[in-house]
């Protein structure tokens, strides 16, 4: 094992919680504009770019581990993953982010709320141009898998009318 996985998880958690505290101390809430261009995001972006494929995979999984129930912590890490996707300097990073999310979505439900929200935002928001990436269309089987997961994530539940 080349990487200390507990250390990677601890680093991601520590940097994220420090970022949230910093944003709150400034009187803001985590969103795409408040997380961008910060020392915390610089750390995350450098890790995403400078780690090799295995290290990046472990790093992205450490972020995905934080995508849980609705709270500012989950929202921060969701924004972080989406920001890393949007600002990635190679499609390989975007593909790995997608892989980490997809691996968690193809297993049996229930899926963590934060994981679903992040994936739905990634595939629905035109900013990310998700469906235009080469890795989505690399093989018919892969394309069908993405479409199937996208459909299952965005199932509309009907709420019975209140009487």
Residue 53 and residue 110: Cα distance in Å, rounded? 29
Residue 135 pLDDT greater than 80, yes or no: yes
Torsion sign across C-alpha atoms 122, 125, 128, 129: positive
The structural domains of the chain, ordered by start, are 5-153 (1.25.40.800)
Residue 136 and residue 14: Cα distance in Å, rounded? 33
Residue 74 and residue 90: Cα distance in Å, rounded? 25
Specify the pLDDT at position 34: 93
119 within 8 A of 128, measured Cβ to Cβ: no
pTM above 0.75, yes or no: yes
Reduce the DSSP state of residue 9 to 3 states and report it. helix
Range 158-163 average pLDDT: 45
């Amino acid at each position: 094992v080349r990487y200390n996985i507990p250390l990677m998880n601890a680093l991601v958690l520590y940097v994220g919680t420090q970022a949230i505290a910093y944003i709150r101390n400034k009187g803001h809430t985590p969103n795409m504009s408040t997380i961008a261009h910060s020392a915390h995001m610089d750390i995350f972006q450098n890790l995403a770019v400078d780690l090799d494929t295995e290290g990046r995979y472990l790093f992205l999984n450490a972020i995905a581990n934080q995508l849980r129930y609705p709270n500012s912590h989950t929202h921060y890490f969701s924004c972080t993953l989406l920001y890393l996707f949007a600002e990635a300097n190679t499609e390989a990073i975007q593909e790995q982010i997608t892989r980490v999310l997809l691996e968690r979505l193809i297993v049996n439900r229930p899926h963590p709320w934060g994981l679903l929200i992040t994936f739905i935002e990634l595939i629905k928001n035109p900013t990310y141009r998700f469906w235009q990436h080469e890795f989505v269309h690399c093989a018919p089987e892969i394309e069908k898998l993405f479409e199937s997961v996208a459909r299952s994530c965005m199932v509309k539940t009907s709420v019975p009318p209140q009487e």
